[in-house]
Amino acid sequence: MNPLDRQFILSSLPGVLLPWYAAHHRILPWRETTDPYRIWLSEIMLQQTRVEAVKGYYQRFLDALPAIQDLACCPDDTLMKLWEGLGYYSRARNLKKAAQIILEEYGGVFPRDYGSVLALPGIGEYTAGAVCSIAFDLPTPAVDGNVLRLVSRLTDDPSPIDAPQTKAAVRQALSTVYPRNAGDFTQALMELGATLCGPNQKPDCPACPCAHLCLGKLRGTAEALPVKSPKRQKRQEDKTVFIFSCDGRYALEKRPEEGLLAGLWQFPNVPGHLSTQQCLEQAQALGLRPRELRREVSRKHIFTHIVWDMKGIFMEVSECSGDFLWFTKEQINDQAALPTAFRLFWEDVHHV
């Protein structure tokens, strides 16, 4: 493809997209502000998470922690409870680490330059670009999957969008065409890539303001784009998860401070799928006296690179013993952050 074609298309985008965005954008709570704390929070929550799922979490989080100072001083268990169910819990831990740095090094004021924002824990080029452009109108592109899909179709580019060099090339090309109202342009690119040119759907070319510029539409390749590298097969891990109960209390333990789901609460579990007899023996080995094995269920949870194939064992025991903490239902619901993999079994408790 002639590079001049690509540059003409991209340089035409501000004039086309800004009026379209003003007239057609979705009303979302984080678009009603230029407060960098709120924009930053929304961008972190929206990573790997649907917009509709984020709305409630976003408001609850801000009700509890309305300012950077509140986030920096928030107890870890409270923070994890606020994040419970959103997944990718390292995002919340990095939010707090970054807030503490902002408090200590910037006096609680969010830094206004791209390099300082990019240096904060948990912030990559996309998030730094989004915050700096939307909050401060800096010409810093925020290139995510939606923007990559949009640009690949507009320019009929078959380069794999998950290749770092592709993302870098798109970021560089967009940075040369940014208008003065950078925040609206960033959000217009995101909006078009998330809606009319969205994922897992046929592009809505008749409604698209860029249809007359789109090489993918002109050449009939839009639906075949973007191209991605072949996916690696996810590793499967078998687990037996114990939901031990005793007089209305349930056994929980903390996960290690490093690794997957670090520092969160979990039901006791062991590798492999144990037989009924092995489950009884395992309970005794953990210092418990089984009274009744009440139910078995199977659940799966998919992480980015791992699939947990879980066998859940609901077992009544004679006393609250063993090296666990024993919580009531109310305490688990109000205080203990259970990641989704284990909450799958907690939801079953009400049906036992």
Q: Alpha carbon of 282 to those of 268, 345, 352: distances in Å?
A: 11, 19, 21
Q: How many CA atoms lie within 13 A of 307 on its CB side?
A: 8
Nearest of 91, 82, 84, 88 to residue 338 by alpha carbon: 84
Q: Quick one: DSSP state of residue 140?
A: -
Q: What's the pLDDT score for residue 9?
A: 96
Q: What's the pLDDT score for residue 1?
A: 46
Which domains are assigned to the chain? Answer: 3-224 (1.10.340.30), 235-349 (3.90.79.10)
Nearest of 261, 270, 252, 282 to residue 339 by alpha carbon: 261
> What is the SS3 assignment for 319?
coil
Write down the pTM of the prediction. Answer: 0.86
Q: What's the pLDDT score for residue 249?
A: 96
Catalytically active residues are 43
Q: What's the pLDDT score for residue 352?
A: 45
Question: Which residues does residue 300 pair with via DSSP β-bridges, in sequence order?
Answer: 309
How confident is the prediction along the chain (352 residues), in pLDDT tens digits per residue? 454 488 899 999 999 999 999 999 999 999 999 999 999 999 999 998 899 999 999 999 999 999 999 999 999 999 999 999 998 999 999 999 999 999 999 999 999 999 999 999 999 999 999 999 999 999 999 999 999 999 999 999 999 999 999 999 999 999 999 999 999 999 999 999 999 999 989 999 999 999 999 999 999 999 999 999 988 889 999 999 999 999 999 999 999 988 999 999 999 999 999 999 999 999 999 999 999 999 999 999 999 889 999 999 999 999 999 999 999 999 999 999 999 999 999 988 865 4
Q: What's the pLDDT score for residue 217?
A: 96
User: Helix 3-24 vs helix 145-154: angle between axes, to the nearest 10 degrees?
Assistant: 130
**Assigned token pair, 331:** 């305490």
Q: What's the pLDDT score for residue 197?
A: 97
User: Helix 76-83 vs helix 51-64: angle between axes, to the nearest 10 degrees?
Assistant: 150
Cis peptide before 226 (omega within 30 of 0): yes
Helix then strand then coil, in percent of the chain rounded to 5, is 50, 15, 35
User: Is residue 324 exposed (0-12), middle (13-18) or buried (19+ Cβ within 10 Å)?
Assistant: buried
Q: What's the pLDDT score for residue 2?
A: 53
